[in-house]
């Protein structure tokens, strides 16, 4: 997930870092021929979950997949196309999300519970519409159950993920044996049984390779993925020749010309490269220290250190492991604000915020200058009042505009909006007709799969009625998701109005007195600081602790981070969950079918000792939000001790096949039998007993990287940095969001 809206911010601020990818067309593409993009990439890394999800539940697809086999075929076509664009000459690394750190499971649990609730609400509304259509004498196509109804099965340990790994092994064998572009490359598959998030497994591999004797510092890397944090992770490697490939958000083009009769379709979109070396050029100019903030003492300006500080700023704006501070929204120019404060106050701060080169030698927190970070965040906190005031003014203006719009409609959602309040917590629309949905969770029409409509499905009348039902369903889901229009908008904290901080602590933490607020502030600052350190280490050195997590739903204010410098923490390197333990930690009861039968009663039986951890209904905090998807899902945190004590006994009843799905494994390396291993392969430690002959012309080796190497956060000796193309005239001067009179910052040359 990463930093919300970061990619949009980047392409608007640093547009020349992006280049449209050239794609060859045709039935048969020679991937061994020169790359039409003018760059010969050495390594291609695929963050596979960015491929699996759109192949499992494509948006607005006329013919979505019905079976696992359909999904697998879509994935193979997807990989083929990415391979034809990048054409790696040495290595293809495919990484599927395995068991995640405990810190990530809170976000996963929230997302999967919401997905299940979305489906429940959408199905209830569809059933209501079907009854209505039947009463009106309008026949529609019947519902069809299929294997791919529940996307929550895209989680380590499920039967779907196990079958996907088997399918990918066959796919790799076929391509190495039959595609000239695959013949001489190494292929690594890190499937869902290998612990770790896909993108972090990839970056760990890159960091380890940099320490191998004979590694070429001019190795050209390309990674495909949809998460914005890939950009920060690529920067953190300090590899210059790094590109990120991703789709451009435009209307998809369907490859097949016979859509009605094709059960599986792959949707093509245009792609673009984000070149990290150009992004670094932008940062070098845009992060230039101002004249009135010369470096202190004998400190010299080092781009690599500035890059590391920039990564810290990005993590403060948002990440998958901590709730972001209330005043730091990237669409409100938060990153521009952090950069401006950093440049202006660099001398007063005392220099750089982090020194990641000390991570290897310091087991404490010496790699972060906590006193400087505290001073920096408190300086950012000085802008909170102005940010909240601007946000409040815009919200009030928007509410009035929407109210005027709705009152000008003859009929809105079955009833007229009568009144709206904007001066207090009662900013609620009052409608004569209540909505037909339950109000307990977020609904997004993009997350709903609709019945397949085909001209072969029956009479044109039935097809037309079904299309009409689907359109009404989508429209109703959109209306349900809009809290302003639905009449469910609240604003209890009222940021920007006097007393907002006290109201925040009262509403979010039930803190009534000044002493309660101070106690909560200290507790939050201590845990949030640990979280910042955890995320920073994770980005540079791998998982510092598999079991640590931030134990609250909300973050402190930037202005409340006093005392950050006194926090001391030492993470213990423990072990990851087993796949089935993670399934129980993140899946909702509605997805209990995805876990082994012996585990299902823990999630569904009312007499289960853990049933309190699997609520069928839960609170979504949408206070101050317009859309339900913006709300915070307040689920109880999984209690690891209780969970593991239950599963320890149940594991004994697993079948052999289930036990195989529940094990943590290591990466698999695939080679053609005639392949000559490149020099870097000697950094691997193959186990001869685990050598597998896939067929007469292919071998598979299970391996682990040699441990003990620490990442070097700088350019490697001998690297050839590309000639610079970005100049001062390319840097946009962004006025701070709270200083302008429009919704977004105005960029001017």
Question: d(Cα 126, Cα 550) in Å, to the nearest integer?
Answer: 38
Nearest to 588 by CA among 177, 44, 62, 115: 115
The two beta strands, 667-672 and 698-703, are: antiparallel
User: Cβ atoms within 10 A of the Cβ of 593, count?
Assistant: 14
- The domain locations on the chain are 39-99+156-281+664-703, 287-382+499-562
Cα Rg of the chain (Å, integer):
27
Which residues, in sequence order, are bridge partners of residue 519? none
Question: d(Cα 244, Cα 341) in Å, to the nearest integer?
Answer: 29
H/E/C letters for each residue in 183-223?
CCCEEEEECCCCCCCHHHHHHHHHHHHHCCCCCCCCCCEEE
Q: Give me 20's structure tokens.
A: 């449209």
Q: Give me 427's structure tokens.
A: 């900013």
- Spatial contact of 20 and 248, defined as CB atoms under 8 Å apart: yes
Question: d(Cα 672, Cα 186) in Å, to the nearest integer?
Answer: 8
Per-run averaged pLDDT (10 residues), the chain, 749 residues: 75 95 86 94 97 88 86 96 96 98 94 90 94 94 87 96 97 93 94 97 95 94 92 96 86 39 55 97 91 68 95 94 94 94 94 89 77 98 96 87 69 39 37 35 41 52 91 91 84 94 97 96 97 95 94 97 93 92 96 96 95 93 89 93 93 94 94 63 48 55 71 93 96 87 50
Sign of CA dihedral 203, 51, 248, 747: negative
Give burial (CB, 10 Å; 0-12/13-18/19+) of 20: exposed
pLDDT, position 698: 64
Residue tagged 């209830």 (tokens): 124
- Spatial contact of 222 and 43, defined as CB atoms under 8 Å apart: yes
CATH of domain 39-99+156-281+664-703: 3.40.50.12390
How far CA 670 is from CA of 174, 402, 616, 674, 703, in Å, comes to 12, 58, 44, 12, 11
- Spatial contact of 506 and 514, defined as CB atoms under 8 Å apart: no
Question: d(Cα 20, Cα 270) in Å, to the nearest integer?
Answer: 8
pLDDT, position 671: 87
User: Cβ atoms within 10 A of the Cβ of 2, count?
Assistant: 20
pLDDT, position 677: 59
pLDDT, position 675: 72
The two beta strands, 267-268 and 698-703, are: unpaired
Question: d(Cα 375, Cα 351) in Å, to the nearest integer?
Answer: 12
Residue tagged 């949809």 (tokens): 226
Question: d(Cα 605, Cα 393) in Å, to the nearest integer?
Answer: 49
Query: Vertex 230, ends 224 and 236: CA angle to 5°?
Result: 130
38: region left, alpha or beta (phi > 0 left; psi from -120 to 50 alpha): left
User: Cβ atoms within 10 A of the Cβ of 649, count?
Assistant: 9
Sign of CA dihedral 381, 385, 391, 394: negative
Measured in degrees and rounded to the nearest 5, phi and psi for residue 445 equal -65, -20
238: region left, alpha or beta (phi > 0 left; psi from -120 to 50 alpha): left
Question: d(Cα 575, Cα 545) in Å, to the nearest integer?
Answer: 8
Measure CA of the first residue to CA of the last residue in the chain; give whole Å: 31
Contacts of 111 (CB under 8 A, 6+ apart): none
Question: d(Cα 109, Cα 588) in Å, to the nearest integer?
Answer: 8
Question: d(Cα 234, Cα 306) in Å, to the nearest integer?
Answer: 15
Residue tagged 């500035």 (tokens): 306
């Amino acid at each position: 997930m990463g930093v919300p809206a970061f990619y949009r911010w980047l392409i608007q601020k640093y547009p020349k870092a992006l280049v449209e990818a050239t794609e060859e067309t045709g039935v048969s593409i020679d991937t061994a021929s020169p790359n039409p993009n003018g760059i010969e990439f050495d390594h291609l890394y695929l963050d596979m979950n960015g491929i699996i999800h759109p192949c499992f539940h494509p948006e607005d697809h006329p013919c979505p997949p019905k079976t696992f086999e359909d999904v697998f075929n879509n994935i193979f076509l997807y990989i083929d196309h990415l391979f034809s664009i990048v054409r790696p000459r040495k290595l293809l690394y495919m990484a599927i999300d395995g068991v995640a750190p405990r810190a990530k499971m809170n976000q996963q649990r929230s997302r999967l519970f919401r997905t299940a609730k979305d489906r429940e609400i959408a199905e209830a509304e569809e059933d209501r519409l079907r009854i209505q259509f039947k009463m009106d004498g309008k026949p529609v196509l019947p519902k069809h159950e299929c294997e791919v109804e529940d996307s929550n099965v895209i989680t380590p340990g499920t039967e779907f993920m196990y079958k996907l790994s088997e399918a990918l092994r066959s796919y790799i064998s076929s391509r190495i044996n039959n595609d000239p572009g695959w013949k001489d490359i190494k292929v690594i598959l890190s499937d869902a049984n290998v612990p770790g998030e896909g993108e972090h497994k990839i970056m760990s591999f890159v960091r380890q390779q940099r320490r191998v004797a004979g590694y070429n510092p001019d190795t050209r890397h390309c990674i495909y993925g949809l998460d914005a944090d890939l950009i920060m992770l690529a920067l953190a490697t300090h590899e210059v020749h790094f590109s990120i490939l991703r789709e451009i958000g435009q209307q998809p083009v369907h490859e097949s010309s016979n859509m009605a009769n094709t059960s599986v379709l792959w949707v093509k979109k245009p792609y673009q490269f984000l070149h990290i070396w150009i992004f670094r050029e932008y940062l070098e100019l845009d992060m230039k220290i101002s004249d009135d903030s010369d470096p202190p003492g004998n400190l010299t300006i080092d781009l690599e250190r500035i890059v590391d500080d920039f990564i810290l700023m990005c993590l403060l704006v948002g990440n998958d492991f901590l709730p972001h501070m209330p005043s730091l929204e990237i669409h409100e120019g938060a990153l521009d604000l952090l950069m401006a404060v950093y440049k202006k106050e660099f001398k007063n701060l005392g220099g750089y915020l982090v020194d990641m080169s000390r991570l290897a030698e310091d087991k404490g927190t010496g790699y972060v200058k906590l006193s400087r970070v505290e001073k920096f965040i408190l300086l950012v906190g000085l802008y909170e009042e102005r940010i909240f005031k601007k946000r409040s003014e815009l919200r009030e203006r928007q509410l009035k505009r929407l109210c005027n719009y709705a009152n000008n409609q003859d009929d809105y959602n079955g009833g007229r909006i009568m009144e709206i309040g904007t001066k207090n917590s009662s900013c609620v629309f009052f409608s004569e007709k209540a909505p037909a949905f339950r109000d307990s969770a977020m609904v997004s029409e993009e997350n709903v799969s609709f019945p397949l409509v085909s001209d072969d499905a029956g009479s044109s009348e039935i097809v037309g009625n079904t299309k009409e039902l689907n359109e009404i369903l989508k429209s109703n889901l959109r209306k349900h998701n809009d809290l302003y229009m639905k009449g469910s908008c609240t604003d209890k904290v009222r940021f920007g109005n006097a007393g907002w901080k006290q109201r925040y602590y009262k509403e979010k933490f039930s803190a009534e007195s000044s002493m309660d607020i101070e106690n909560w502030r200290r507790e939050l600052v201590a845990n949030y600081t640990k979280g910042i350190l955890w995320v920073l280490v994770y980005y540079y050195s791998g998982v510092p602790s598999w079991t640590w997590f931030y134990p609250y739903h909300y973050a402190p204010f930037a202005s409340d981070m006093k005392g950050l410098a006194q926090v001391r923490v030492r993470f213990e390197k423990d072990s990851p969950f087993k796949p089935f333990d993670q399934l129980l930690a993140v899946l909702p009861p509605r997805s209990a079918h995805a876990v082994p039968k012996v585990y299902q009663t823990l999630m569904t039986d009312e007499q289960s000792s853990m049933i309190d951890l699997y609520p069928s209904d839960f609170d979504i905090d949408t206070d101050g939000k317009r859309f339900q998807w913006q709300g915070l899902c307040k689920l109880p945190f999984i209690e690891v001790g209780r969970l593991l004590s239950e599963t320890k006994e149940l594991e004994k009843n697993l079948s052999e096949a289930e036990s195989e799905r529940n094990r943590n494994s290591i990466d698999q390396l695939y080679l053609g039998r005639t392949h000559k291993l490149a020099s870097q392969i000697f950094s691997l430690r193959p186990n001869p007993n685990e050598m597998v002959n896939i067929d007469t012309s292919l071998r598979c080796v299970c391996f682990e990287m040699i441990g003990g190497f620490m990442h070097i956060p700088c350019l490697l000796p001998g690297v050839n940095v590309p000639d610079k193309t970005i100049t001062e005239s390319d840097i946009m001067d962004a006025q701070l969001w709270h200083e302008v009179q429009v919704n977004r910052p105005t960029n001017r040359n």
